[in-house]
């Protein structure tokens, strides 16, 4: 079966609202798995939960297209979000660098005073 056929089967069998609730549940399980890994536990469960969430994302994209009739360019949407995050990180890095340089300048001026 193709991904679209699988998504259609689940949409028809379970319904959109049920799958939306499953998406919430799988995301919660992913969050819990992340917490456990941060406490030093195995990543096995994290890997499994990532797969579950990826499957639900695939289904939600299909549902959004077919239930809500929305035509979304997911790659463009993802790319815009990622670029926005990159810009934010670069901005913060510039501020950090400026503060570090400012701190060095303060130290140098104190050395000169001695």
Structure confidence at residue 108 (pLDDT):
47
Q: How confident is the model at residue 96 (pLDDT cuts 50, 70, 90)?
A: confident
| The pair of three-digit structure tokens given for residue 112, joined into one six-digit string | 């000169």
44 vs 96: which has the higher pLDDT: 44
- Could you tell me the pTM of the whole model? 0.74
Query: Which tens digit of pLDDT belongs to each residue from 28-82?
Result: 999 999 999 999 999 999 999 999 999 999 999 999 999 889 889 999 999 999 9
Burial letters 25-61, b for 16+ CB under 10 A, else e: ebeebbeebeeeeeeeeeeebbeebeebbebbeebbe
d(CA 49, CA 34): 9
């Amino acid at each position: 079966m193709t991904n679209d056929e699988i998504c259609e089967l689940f949409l028809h069998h379970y319904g959109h609202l049920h799958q939306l609730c499953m998406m919430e549940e799988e995301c919660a399980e992913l969050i819990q798995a992340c917490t456990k890994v941060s406490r030093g536990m195995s990543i096995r469960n994290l890997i499994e939960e990532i797969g579950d969430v990826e499957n639900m994302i695939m289904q939600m994209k299909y549902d959004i297209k077919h239930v809500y009739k929305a035509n979304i360019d997911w790659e463009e949407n993802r790319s815009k979000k990622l670029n926005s995050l990159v810009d934010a990180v670069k901005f913060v890095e510039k501020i950090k660098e400026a503060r570090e340089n400012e701190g060095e300048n303060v130290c140098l001026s104190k050395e000169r005073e001695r």
